[in-house]
Structure 1
Amino acid sequence: MTAAPASAPPPVGVRRLLPATQAQRILTVATFANSFGGGMFTTASVLYFTRVVGLPAGRVAMGLFGGAMAGLIAGVLVGRLADQWGPKRVHICVMLGGGVAISCFTLIGSFWSFFAVSLVAGAVIPADEASKAPLIRGVAEGNPTLFIGYLRSVTNLALAFGSVAAGFAIQIDSRPAYLALVVCRALAYVGCGLILLRLRLPETAPDPAEEAEEKDRGWAALRDRTYLSATLVNAVLSLNYAASGFLLPLWIVGHTSAPRWMVSAVLVLNMAFVVLLQVPVSRGVHDARTAGRRMAWAGAAFAAGLMLMAFAAGTSPWTASALLLTGMGVFAFGELWYAAASYEYCFGLAPARLQGQYAGVFGLGSGAVEAVAPAVMSLLPLGMGLPGWLALSAVLLFAGLGSGPLVTWAGGRR
């Protein structure tokens, strides 16, 4: 009796698009599901809160700010829990909790109910990132920077699909359509958690002496000068996300003669760069020295890209469009270099068995900047014009150039 033939492996082209191991593929599918739901909700959530619930935009901003502040605490605490109780268990609990929290948005009818739910829902994203970091490190086979670059490409692709799906609900513009998006977002969280039940992390033999030493360290990440310096630099450079997501749409519509559809064009261009190039760009980053160099490149690219987009004001529609697209192309390379360096700092400078705690502290800096970034953008570029653009560009440029020397200096003093 002959043995059944083995199943044929996927074509070479398909294998190149998939992660190497089953654990990586499971985490990738879970990430795609979660990000798809995030793309739907992020695109339409403000419209739901204002048009369906009936909240003023200022009240919505207040609730989201409260959630961001709650997230600063949640990320650090949940990251430490992931180290102590196991990242898979904690991350699945965060995903299921996120599904419950988001679904409560369907029940709100006043500002205070919205604010209460926002405090819980706002804590989910930092908790998600902090508890997911040890999972990434566990399945990345020694190269988390490259694998998370792959995950970032997948995330942006899923966000794009989610945004397109949300566009149909926005076009319908009815209460049932918006409620359906909220429910789908909750289901995406739950689906992500259920997919992760199949995840099997590689087993490593525990070292009793190492475990005892780590218990004595307590909040080691808060005393690690090298890591804190990298966290500080990363936080300052994380202003780039608000520049592309908050500043640029307002600048294009209110201060340039470019057509309104250019807002979508530059954001799609940015997303295409991330999807296609994040993995190749991440390959050359393997230690703190190369990460510092990429941070310097990122700072220079951010400054150059921002200035090109700033000069779009006061020009013809064609010139403004050309400057905006060119500026975003330069800016997107900065985002790619920044992301690769940021991942290396987050993972490469952290002890493996304390990755959750360290990732929580790392996210603390960027989360604080994210909360104040809209005010910074409103005060500098939107409020001051060209001098504000120069100031923002200078901050990003010098933060990037100073990244490597600062981390090296802090490491020498540790």
Structure 2
Amino acid sequence: MAVTGGKAAQTPPRRRSLAHRLLPDRGPRRTLATSIFVDALGSGMFMSSSVLYFTRVVHLPMSEVAFGLFAGAMVGLVAGVLGGKVADRWGARETQIAVMVFGTLFMGCYLLVDTFWSYLLVSMLIGVVFAADKSSKAPLIRGFSGNDPAGFRAYLRAATNLAVALGALAAGVAIQFDTAPAYLTLVVGRALSFAGCAMVLRRLPRPAPVPTPPLNGRWEALRDRPYLAATILNGLMSLHFAVPTFLLPLWIVDHTEAPRWLVSGVLILNTVLVITLQVVVSRNVNDSESAGRRMRWAGIAIAAGLGLMLAAKEPSTWVSAALLLTATAVYTLGELWHSAAAMEYSFGLAAPHAQGQYSGIFGLGGGVAEALAPVVLGALALGLGPPGWILLSAVFLAVGFLSRPVVAWALRTSPSAPTGPAVTT
């Protein structure tokens, strides 16, 4: 060891590379994050272009395309619960790899679709894959979360949103070409993302097994009062996820003087804020109490964002645009707080040995909200006008303020209530 003046020379600490600052440390966490990023990249490509592929290449009418997507989502509601149960019983890593392999095969079948019935069948199979993917992934996320589970889950959500945005950009290039080969390339890209995810997951070790209590039931999540209460409340709050993708574009184009390009502007602002702020906003959300506070903040921010969107109806072009951009920023804060609370409820209140089953139940509530959101938001905000916007804001406020006391009550009165606050392992 080199010495200077009788004292050991201090070696300056090496600066961490950009990759080390942006990625989890080498090991299972980085492998899992990589697999999720690859999967989400393909998802962004397909979500942004699927409707155009089916209408412009397969030549299906929009009504049939919509019905196929709805059927796939409904089948997925049940498949998610079963997929989580399989992951708990047979291993989450093996289940995830199998789901990715089937995803590759079924997505490839979209290239062969030429009638409504073949499209409907494949859409239902893909719906099973999408739902089973989410619920079987949850035990892996829990198993490899490390010492900062809330931070790691927030990082994964930010990385997922970045990947979806990049996938959407790739889809935008293909959409600009507007040719059959371009759309077919996107479908192939989605299939390859499933395959790539499966290959990455092969490098992931099996998570440590979680002991199963001897008296646990077959479907214990359905008897867990605190978890069901959180699932219902989260489902109601999840209606807002259709605001930036469904309600706001229609509101901007048909009911305000703002320029039409602002539809893309608010979506980009929403995505950028989610990617950059999710980890920060999710700090210290590590039990049901903190999750309840974030749900309350979420209800306030979402209601305020909706109020600003409504206020953008009457003003001139640029005042309306400014109000809509401000509304999007405020709304996105609510979205971030809701996501942090929902992740804690989903993982922190779940029995560790049955995370897949519990996540399937939690996803069931979110899936119902996703299916109903366009109908509810359209009927209230676009159908009733200002009274509908006010009613929506009141619903989100009420859910936000009720979440903490309702979950606390369920924890106190549940026969299987823990002796302390819910802790994520």
Q: TM-score range by the shorter chain?
A: over 0.9
- Superposition deviation, residue 16 in structure 1: 2.7
User: Are 1:194 and 2:211 matched, yes or no?
Assistant: no
* Match status 1:126 vs 2:127: no
Please give the alpha-carbon distance, in whole angstroms, between the structure 1 residues aligned to 2:194 and 2:19: 27
Bigger radius of gyration: 2
Q: Which runs of 5+ in 2 are unaligned?
A: 1-12, 415-425
Deviation at 1:160, TM superposition (A): 1.0
Percent identity reads 52
Task: Give 1:165's aligned amino acid.
Answer: A
Looking at structure 2, the residues matched to 247 and 134 of structure 1 have their Cα atoms a distance apart, in angstroms, of: 34
Superposed CA deviations along residues 266-311 of structure 1, whole A, max 9, x for unmatched, are: 1111111111110111112010000000000000000000110111
1:48 aligns with 2:42: no
2:223 aligns to what? 223
Tell whether 2:90 aligns with 1:85: yes
Match of 1:3 in 2: none
Alignment-derived partner of residue 297 in structure 2? 297
Contact 2:44 2:164 in 1 (8 A): yes
Is the aligned partner of 1:179 residue 2:184?
yes
Give 1:54 shift: 1.2
State how far apart, in whole Å, the 2-side matches of 1:146 and 1:166 are. 30
Taking the aligned partners of 1:160 and 1:147, their CA distance within structure 2 comes to 20
Q: Give the match for residue 261 of structure 1.
A: 261
Of stretches 137-146 and 325-334 in structure 1, the one that deviates more from structure 2 is: 137-146
Q: Which amino acid aligns with 1:62?
A: F
Residue of structure 2 equivalent to 1:274: 274
When you count helix as a share of all residues, which structure comes out higher?
1
Following superposition, the deviation at residue 202 of structure 1 comes to 4.5
1:180 aligned partner, one-letter code? T
Q: Once structures 1 and 2 are overlaid, which stretch shifts more, 110-119 or 140-149?
A: 140-149
1:136 pairs, out of 126, 133, 141, with 141
Q: What residue in structure 2 maps to residue 394 of structure 1? A: 394
Structure 1 runs of 4+ aligned residues shifted over 6 Å read none
1:6-405 paired onto structure 2 within 5 Å:
11=16, 13-204=18-209, 207=211, 210-214=212-216, 217-405=217-405
TM-score calculated relative to the size of structure 2: 0.92
SS in 1 for 2:49: helix
Larger mean CA deviation between 308-317 and 343-352 belongs to 308-317
In 2, Cα distance between equivalents of 1:331 and 1:192: 32
Once the two structures are superposed, what CA deviation does each residue of 1:83-130 show, in whole Å capped at 9, x if it has no partner? Answer: 000000001111111111111111111111111111111122221110
Residues 137-174 of structure 1 deviation map (CA, whole Å, 9 limit, x = unaligned): 01001433221110111111111111111111101111
Q: Which amino acid aligns with 1:29?
A: T
In 2: Cα distance, 1:412 partner to 1:73 partner: 30
**1:408 Cα deviation after fit:** 0.8
Cα distance, 1:20 vs structure 2: 3.3
Q: Structure 2 CA distance, aligned partners of 1:29 and 1:158?
A: 10
What amino acid does structure 1 have at the position aligned with 2:214?
A
Following superposition, the deviation at residue 256 of structure 1 comes to: 1.0
> Structure 1: which 5+ runs fail to align?
1-7
Aligned equivalents of 2:218 and 2:67: distance in 1?
34
- Provide the rounded CA distance (Å) in 2 between the counterparts of 1:245 and 1:145: 27
Shift of 1:201: 3.7
Output the amino acid matched with 2:54.
F
Confirm or deny: 8 A CA contact 1:138 1:201 kept in the other structure. Answer: no
| Contact 1:144/1:347 (8 A) holds in 2 | no
Task: Tell me the distance in 2 between the aligned counterparts of 1:105 and 1:203.
Answer: 37
Q: Residues of 2 paired with 1:379 and 1:256: CA distance?
A: 18
Instruction: Give distance in 1, aligned partners of 2:206 and 2:281.
Output: 27
Contact 2:95–2:136 (Cα < 8 Å) also in 1: yes
What secondary structure is seen at the aligned counterpart in 1 of 2:258?
Answer: coil
Q: Does the aligned pair in 2 maintain the 1:225–1:411 contact within 8 Å?
A: yes
Whole-angstrom CA distance in 2 between matches of 1:311 and 1:299: 18
Q: Which residue of 2 aligns with 1:5?
A: none
Which secondary structure state, in structure 2, belongs to the residue aligned with residue 283 of structure 1? Answer: coil
Q: Using the alignment, how far apart are the partners of 1:121 and 1:201 within structure 2?
A: 26
Asked if 2 retains the 8 angstrom alpha-carbon contact of 1:289 and 1:404, the reply is yes
Counterpart Cα distance in 2 of 1:39 and 1:183: 13
Alpha-carbon distance in structure 1 between the residues aligned to 2:208 and 2:14: 26
- In the TM superposition, what whole-angstrom CA distance separates every residue of 1:48-96 from its partner, at most 9, and x where no partner exists? 1111111111111111110010000000000000000000000111111
**Matched residue type, 1:213:** L
Q: Is the partner of 2:215 in helix, strand or coil?
A: helix
- SS at 1:293 equivalent: helix
Query: In 2, distance between residues paired with 1:368 and 1:269?
Result: 27
Mapped to 2, the partners of 1:144 and 1:60 lie a distance apart of: 39
> What do the CA deviations read for 1:205-247 (whole angstroms, capped 9, x no partner)?
x64xx45333xx1100000000000000110111111111111
Q: Is the 8 A contact 2:381 2:392 kept in 1?
A: yes
In structure 1, the residue corresponding to 2:313 is in which secondary structure?
A: coil
TM-score normalised by L of structure 1: 0.94
- Amino acid of the residue matched to residue 347 of structure 2? F
